[in-house]
Amino acid sequence: MPVNLAAPDPASLLPVPGVRLGVASAGIKKPGRRDLTLIELAPGSRVAGVFTQNRFCAAPVAVCREHLARGDIRALVINTGNANAGTGEEGLGRARQTCSAVARLFAIDAAQVLPFSTGVILEPLPIDKILPALPAAHADLAAERWSDAAAAIMTTDIVAKGASRQLRIAGKTVTVTGIAKGSGMIHPNMATMLGFVATDAAIAPALMQRMVSEVADLSFNCVTVDGDTSTNDSFVLIATGQAASPEIADAGPDYSALKAALAEVAIELAQAMARDGEGATKFMTIAVEGGRDRAECKQIAYAIARSPLVKTAFFASDPNLGRILAAIGYAGVQDLDVNALKVWLGDVLVAEAGGRAAGYSEAAAAAVMKEAEITVRVSLDRGDARATVWTCDFSYDYVKINAEYRT
Amino acid sequence: MPVNLAAPDPASLLPVPGVRLGVASAGIKKPGRRDLTLIELAPGSRVAGVFTQNRFCAAPVAVCREHLARGDIRALVINTGNANAGTGEEGLGRARQTCSAVARLFAIDAAQVLPFSTGVILEPLPIDKILPALPAAHADLAAERWSDAAAAIMTTDIVAKGASRQLRIAGKTVTVTGIAKGSGMIHPNMATMLGFVATDAAIAPALMQRMVSEVADLSFNCVTVDGDTSTNDSFVLIATGQAASPEIADAGPDYSALKAALAEVAIELAQAMARDGEGATKFMTIAVEGGRDRAECKQIAYAIARSPLVKTAFFASDPNLGRILAAIGYAGVQDLDVNALKVWLGDVLVAEAGGRAAGYSEAAAAAVMKEAEITVRVSLDRGDARATVWTCDFSYDYVKINAEYRT
């Protein structure tokens, strides 16, 4: 069951002026389930994205990159139940056909549509089901549909994921709302499964890519469930510019304020993926500090967060903490001095001077292990850099969910 | 249950002239269990080893490296139940105390003893139990004790692992016998959990390190269970020179013939680790060919072999083969052309031209998935290099074994 995670109250997901959403049932995997989402953007909206680094990137990811390069995006179309990945030329054709059909509904060009797919890999995208359902999604468009869209993009997710923030820029209220999906095949590399964050702030086009990359690095690029990087990871930032706040044209205080709000929303969504990680019973924060650079901190944090041995020990609430040391040791930081580092479980100092801490008490560690949310802190004592990674434990249910995924 | 793996018939593990083994019960974890092994080497034996690259290497690994550098090794001591890793200066001291106690029994120098430990990390080595049990192991020494030693070095292993070969060098019969243990925390980097291979051939000291490294690269460095690199990985090659065959002084035909026999034994032991991988129900061979170099083939093979999503699909006998494509895609081979590669499951062509193969039949793939031994073959079509990795699937029992490891 998801760890301390409930679906957002629909009223808490604030509409973003310039954005309307609609959902429909295309019957892609299960009849009657809402599995198709349209997002309409007002003219003048600016859009930027970061996408999977997987060489087997999905057809819709390839089309997104192409269309974003041309600019002036006006609509997004998202289906669940099929990833349209590992589908070759035919998959690209079907992603383009979907864009064309959406373009006709909005009387825009196909290149103004971004397509997204999530679900099973290596099976043909069922456009015979998707295209006929588009008009219903179009008829459903409304500004208050964020929570419906959050539910319609789920795959193995148990809980829909969404968050909103408001801030003031030059005296004007600006809204940020985002939704995301993902609970397995989660180890984003540049971006995550599917994440969409919109704001009515105005951002200069030249700053959009920088903003989306910086926000991804603080949020979706800090989460892992199973270490598998998806073929479809996509994180899209939308700025409609309808808040009447002045355009953010440089990386000054307004940029920082907006980035902070965007990052808050994105971090909440990224953490929600780990809380809703397949089979999760614990939410784990791995915080590494005192590194020479952020990269080595992240490398060590990810080694711990990915280790099946660490994750099963947490599932069992067993402070078998030597497994954490083993993961630190094989993380690949070549000149790491293991005698200089310290490891804490919650507030309990576990390891120092290359071995178990003098005052370590197994009972104290066992008490921390029983919590649903646990922080592992590692201090490397060789610099000022730090990085945090969020993950979940590894339970019987992870195996069950993934052994039975297609049945 | 181990996949097509039975403990070796004791009679099939041939004595190696110059090597005697003895076991005893020190009561390290469970009373009465044989958990302590001594190996005595005749004077003039040559020994070389490769060890874990984990920065948190165990105390005995550090001592082994130091003693091997001095040469003239005459005894090995191996305990199970405690890894003596993450134990700092005190752990080093206890490893040295163990060597000294063994040295007294054999009337040799402590630097002529190699210590090995395997078991739980971060707990003090119980020398109060080990030292008093050494005389019993010493009294037990005999040339025919290989299968007893194979059983006494096990941790979560279900089946003891050993193999023998014989070959002729210059008209003389030469014997190769090896034992190994390991079924979890298996993702060797330069060597594996614990592996000991002995031969009565004579090898020039200058060639020993080359031989052990080459054999490790063909065997123990090609297996993974859970992607976790142990703190204690050690693979040791012993050449007693008692076969009366001429000393192998260069990398000629005799070197190749002996290397082939050593590799056969080491590969059988390495495969046995995957067959006996924690919770294993399937034995998987991942063969990648047509690469530019062996490194990129191995990188892709390991990405597939480590993926929890691939491993759970195999556990379920579900040909959800898009997960293999995703793993290939995120393996980190930057300029990989996914449209050029092909993937087979057994004899079934699954993927080509970036998508599902034209003649692919799910029924045919499902039939392969039901087998206990399955080969995944990937052709990259960009060179002549190849690499093979052995692994096992990921079942409920992996979680169970590792959640309950210390109870």
Q: Where are the domains of chain A?
A: 10-275, 283-403
Chain B CB within 8 Å of residue A224 CB = no
Chain A CB within 8 Å of residue B405 CB = yes
Q: How many CB pairs under 8 A join A and B?
A: 236
Report the complex ipTM: 0.79
Note if B80 is an active site residue. no
Nearest to B196 by CA among B233, B137, B166, B236: B236
Q: Is the dihedral of CA B235, B172, B148, B279 positive or negative?
A: positive
Nearest CA in chain B to A338: B56
Nearest to A321 by CA among A362, A283, A286: A362
Q: What is the pLDDT of residue B188?
A: 60
Chain A CB within 8 Å of residue B93 CB = no
Chain A CB within 8 Å of residue B99 CB = no
Q: What is the pLDDT of residue B100?
A: 98
Specify whether the CB–CB gap between B131 and B27 falls below 8 A.
no
Chain A CB within 8 Å of residue B361 CB = no
Residues of B in contact with A404 (CB under 8 A): 316, 318
CATH superfamily of B10-275: L-amino peptidase D-ALA esterase/amidase (3.60.70.12)
Q: Report how far residue B226's alpha carbon sits from residue A303's, in angstroms, rounded to the nearest whole number.
A: 12
pLDDT digits (tens, 9 = 90+) for A235-260: 889 999 999 899 999 999 999 999 99
CB environment A361-380: b (16+ within 10 A), e (fewer):
eeebbeebbeeeebbbbbbb
- Give the gap in angstroms from C-alpha B43 to the nearest C-alpha of chain A: 36
Digitized pLDDT (tens) for each residue of chain B, 407 residues in all? 788 888 888 889 999 999 999 999 999 988 999 999 999 999 999 999 888 878 888 899 999 999 999 989 999 999 999 999 888 899 999 999 999 999 999 999 999 999 999 988 888 999 999 999 999 999 999 999 999 999 999 988 889 999 999 999 989 999 999 998 887 777 665 444 688 889 999 999 889 999 988 988 888 888 777 777 777 778 889 999 999 899 999 999 999 999 999 999 989 988 888 898 888 899 999 999 999 999 999 999 999 998 988 999 999 999 888 889 989 988 889 899 989 999 999 999 999 988 899 999 999 999 999 999 999 999 999 999 999 999 999 998 888 888 877 66
Residues of B in contact with A336 (CB under 8 A): 55
At residue B375, the 3 state secondary structure works out as: strand
Q: Report how far residue B203's alpha carbon sits from residue B200's, in angstroms, rounded to the nearest whole number.
A: 9
CB atoms within 10 A of CB A94: 25
Determine the residue among B117, B356, B401 to mutate to test chain A binding: the one whose Cβ has the most chain A Cβ atoms within 10 Å: B356
Taking 50 as the threshold, does the pLDDT of residue A190 lie above it?
A: no
Q: Where residue A193 falls among pLDDT bands split at 50, 70, 90?
A: low
Overall pTM surpassing 0.80 (yes/no): yes
Residues of A in contact with B302 (CB under 8 A): none
Nearest CA in chain A to B396: A396
Query: What CATH architecture applies to the domain B283-403?
Result: Roll (3.10)
Q: What is the pLDDT of residue B305?
A: 93
Active site residues of A: 192
Partner residue facing A54 (CB), from B54, B120, B330? B330
Partner residue facing A356 (CB), from B122, B315, B336? B122
Nearest CA in chain B to A394: B399
pLDDT digits (tens, 9 = 90+) for A195-243: 889 999 999 988 999 998 898 888 888 877 777 777 777 888 999 999 9
Looking at per-residue pLDDT, the higher value among B287 and A272 belongs to B287
Kindly determine whether residue A312 and residue B402, on different chains, have CB atoms separated by under 8 Å.
yes
